Amino acid sequence: MYKFDYLIVGSGLFGATFAYKAKQANKKCLVIDKRDHIGGNIYCENRHGINVHKYGAHIFHTSNKKVWDFVNGIVEFNRYTNSPIANYKGQLFNLPFNMNTFYQMWGVTTPAEAIDKINTQRKEMLDKISLSETKEPANLEEQAISLIGVDLYEKLIKGYTEKQWGRKCTELPSFIIKRLPVRFVYDNNYFSDKYQGIPIGGYNKLIEGLLKDVEVITNTDFFENREYWEQIAEKIVFTGKIDEFYNYQFGKLEYRTVYFEEEELDCSNYQGNAVVNYTDKDIPYTRVIEHKHFEMFGEDVDRCKKTIISKEYSIEWNENLEPYYPINDFKNNELHQKYKSLSDKESRVIFGGRLAEYKYYDMAPIIEKVLNMDID
């Protein structure tokens, strides 16, 4: 006889949503997490009334009304719209690439002028590398220039991307940037989804709502007492690294990771925006997050006389760091497929989330995936 129906390893968004749905199905769950808090990477720390995104900026966005209604049924979301700014050597540009960006870069004011400028630069690139119109770009650099031209690539893509991935753009696969938003309208909204926002009161409110009345134990590492945890529940939901689950028997998967330098400042408004990307390669960090702008708008910004910023640095991952971004190149995808072939044979273990599936996820698709699962 098992004590629980499900042992859920990890209290991030996948694990918490699964626990919520299992609870609705009258299943008894235990959630364990090796960190000293719940919520995984969407955990927030409140200081001076500001919810600091401790593991990087998270903006919820979706076009799925079922998902939007679900999360708002747990906690109400605000009206935050993601409109980042790019800083290149002191010059400021709107993101994503839209008519505001094109005007700031070239002084053009109509879509026809912007398209003509991009097409001219694209043709020059094709001629330079002797690439035919029908041949697929060989790397990220060629893909980016074909989408937005040389000037935007050189100033707003190249330095940022090489800092982010620690590799030259000519060494990165083209698919990384294929979904780059390029719009010939004056619209600084980064996402095209119908719904977006931040939970009022921070993401902790969402996780706490999902895990309400569910037993949770923090500061608990599954692998330190694996034999015990594997015997406590009929089934296991595992959200950690899939290669670690299988004792790295085929080798270790690779990741990029980030670390943050936080500063508490005695001013009410440091940069006027939640997210500013620094695209110059000589600036070591990739972006600066000013957390209060996720939830404070208008006069509320100035009422809070403190502000907190995080400078974000992208580095190579090692065992002492938190894995963030799977490196989905050929070598790692091939290695992951070996582990997935083992996981597909499991009858008691469900693998879910970015580490268990070795796949980058936005938040909404994680919730959508769990909502569509059959929990028996």
Q: Catalytic residue positions?
A: 179, 183, 256, 287, 312, 360, 362
Judge whether 68 and 195 are in contact, CB under 8 Å: yes
Gap between the Cα atoms of 150 and 176, Å rounded:
18
Return the exposure string of 5-39: e unless at least 16 CB atoms fall within 10 Å of the residue's CB, then b. Answer: bbbbbbbbbbbbbbbbbbbeeebebbbbbebeebb
Dihedral over Cα of 123, 129, 130, 136: its sign: negative
3-state DSSP assignment of residue 280: coil
**Residue 260 phi, psi (nearest 5):** -125, 140
Token look-up 């910004």 returns: 301
Gap between the Cα atoms of 134 and 283, Å rounded:
37
C-alpha count within 13 angstroms, C-beta hemisphere, residue 55 = 17
Helix intervals (H) in 197-329? 203-210, 226-230, 242-245, 299-303
Judge whether 147 and 182 are in contact, CB under 8 Å: yes
Closest CA to 328 of 192, 150, 223, 178: 178
